[in-house]
Amino acid sequence: MHSSSVKIVSFGKDGISASAAAGRISTGQGTALDAFAKSGDAEKDLKLIGKVLSSGHNTIIEHMYVTVAFNDVSVLTEQMMIEHRLAAYTVKSRRYVDFSGAGYLIPDGLGEKEEAYKSHMEYLFGAYEKLLFLDIPREDARFVLPYCFRSNFLMSADMREMLSVARSMTVGRLSVYGEIRHLGKLLLEELNRVFPGAEKALSAGKGEPDTVETDFEIPSPVQAQPGAELVSSPEDAKGMLLRALSANGRAGMSLKQLTKDERPREMEMLNYAFLVKDVSLASVTHFTRHRIQSLIVPKPVCALRKNAYVLPESIKQSEEALKIYKEAFAVNAEKAASFRETGEILSYFALAGNTVDILFNMNARELMHFLRLRTCNRAQWEIRSLSQEMLSLLMEDYRELFRFFGPSCAVLGYCPEGRLSCGKPVKSAE
């Protein structure tokens, strides 16, 4: 397991000085530049920062910015990390990158089951390679990969958020996973290296590991029936939006103008909640990475409880590929059932194509951003289909506004994809 690593690759050289200046400016005389001019002595700066932190004023360390490389970690870890929304992430795309040689995590605690675990994971990677050999697109073949396959990603956040993440990984919610607990310790060591006060700041927080229920039967796999349901919308969306426009001095603005406006804050007054059923674990990340929302996603292990799977058209069209694909889910269900007593390790048996139901709430402004990306012809087919269904539901609810929503070409009047454009722009509504 411990071939995974965490490494700080970038740390603002003046982050400590800036944080010390922040500690001085709030209680001292002079300008912001005066406060910064007093910084520069590392020992004095760290002492001041420690004093301010001990008083519970943690915002000053938000002026330190850190970029961390997570190397060869499981995709389970990746999915858990991107739930932290006060951070920036760039992950390796499973749509475009061949993961045949990516390898997989072998967790501690397998005991005598280790060889059976490795044999099964090799089988699943073999199924992935067979699908690629049959010219199945990578974005579809990846659905048979288990959640222990290795990934790499970059994460950037301020020091306060990084410490919050480290706390969750080492003693909090995410520490239930042995892999994440180990990575959390490595992260804390790295943070201590660039900011000697990190561990002390972390110790002030408390946490408790989450629970991962595994005492359930794993049924035979079934094809999923994806769909979206609008479960909550404003009682008087039109009235609220008109009131917001009036309050902002823009009562005469048309709804089309509003959707093209640089700062359409009025749409933030309208909140919509969706239940998206049977979305694959692979596509959950497309939802999770949108930060301006409230999102509830079940733990990956929950995907095994229903054991449904998405079925791509490319697989349906090949009899040989379909046989390999269905067999992979069937064999995985049988093997996973024999690993239930391993606790949270069972999570690694969830396949990227297994599905869960998610519930989320977005305001209309964020929905416009979400739908611009996800209804685009270049979006992954699964999330594009779900997003188009969401847009239809929104139009039924408030057509006057949502008829101006859609892919970027329809909303903006041009395609921002440059040379990657599909070349088939959608005309904006009139």
* 260 plus 359 within the same structural domain: yes
Whether 186 and 258 map to the same domain: the answer is no
**Owner of token pair 């301006």:** 292
Distance of CA 423 to the CA centre of its chain: 29
Coarse DSSP helix, strand, coil percentages of the chain, rounded to the nearest 5 percent: 50, 15, 35
CATH number at residue 55: 3.30.1360.170
Are the beta carbons of 182 and 1 closer than 8 angstroms? yes
Measured in residues, the chain has a length of 430
The closest alpha carbon to 406, from 382, 384, 423, 381, belongs to: 384
For residues 32 and 165, membership in a common domain is answered with yes
Residue numbers of the domain that contains 387: 222-300+355-420
The reply to whether 277 and 406 lie within a common domain is yes
- ∠ CA 252-254-256, nearest 5°, is 160
Same domain, 83 and 22: yes
**β pairing state of 222-223 and 308-309:** parallel
Are 329 and 221 a contacting pair, CB within 8 Å? yes
Encoded amino acid at 262, one letter: E
Structure confidence at residue 413 (pLDDT): 84
User: Contact, 355 vs 278, CB < 8 A?
Assistant: yes
Residue 193 lies in a domain: yes
331-367 CB burial, b ≥16 within 10 A, e <16: ebbebbbebbebbbbbbbbbbbbbbbbbbbebbbbbb
Given a contact cutoff of 8 angstroms between Cβ atoms, the answer to whether 178 and 169 are in contact is no
What digits encode the pLDDT tens for the residues 140-171?
Answer: 999 999 999 999 999 999 999 999 999 999 99
Within-domain flag for 370: yes
d(CA 312, CA 325): 10
Tell me how far apart the alpha carbons of residues 47 and 39 are, in angstroms, rounded to a whole number.
Answer: 12
Would you state the pLDDT for residue 260? 92
154 and 231 co-located in one domain = no
Structure tokens belonging to residue 339: 């690993």
The helix/strand count (H/E) of the chain reads as 18, 10
Give first-to-last CA distance, the chain, whole Å: 57
Instruction: Report if residue 180 sits inside a domain.
Output: yes
**What pLDDT digit, counting tens, does each position of 349-379 carry?**
999 999 999 999 999 999 999 999 999 999 9
Structural domain includes residue 329: no
Pure H helices in 195-318:
198-203, 237-247, 255-260, 281-288, 302-306, 313-316
**Within-domain flag for 135:** no
Residue type, 403: R
| Final residue in a domain of this structure, among 136, 169, 203 | 203
Phi-psi region at 419: left, alpha or beta (left = phi > 0; alpha = psi -120 to 50): alpha
pLDDT of residue 206: 67
Q: Are residues 250 and 162 in the same domain?
A: no
- Dig out the tokens for 304 from the structure: 């095994």
337, 341, 344, 348: CA torsion to nearest 10: -30
CA pair distance 329, 342, nearest whole angstrom: 20
Residue 177 has φ and ψ, to the nearest 5°, of -90, 120
| 321 assigned to some structural domain | no
Identify whether 245 is part of a domain.
Answer: yes
Amino acid at position 406, single letter: G
10 strand-pairing partners: 67
Same domain for 280 and 415? yes
- Do residues 24 and 69 both lie within one domain? yes
Instruction: Determine contact, residues 405/373, Cβ cutoff 8 Å.
Output: no
Do residues 229 and 374 both lie within one domain? yes
Low-confidence ranges of the chain (pLDDT < 50): none
Same domain, 168 and 237: no
Alpha carbons 206 and 77: distance in angstroms, whole number: 21
Cα 139 to Cα 131: distance, rounded to the nearest angstrom: 11
Sign of CA dihedral 204, 173, 85, 2: positive
Tell me the C-alpha distance between 32 and 342, whole Å: 55
The answer to the question of residue 191 being in a domain is: yes
The CA-based angle 83-85-89, given to 5 degrees, is: 85
Based on the fold, state whether residues 169 and 226 are members of the same structural domain: no
How many structural domains compose the chain? 2
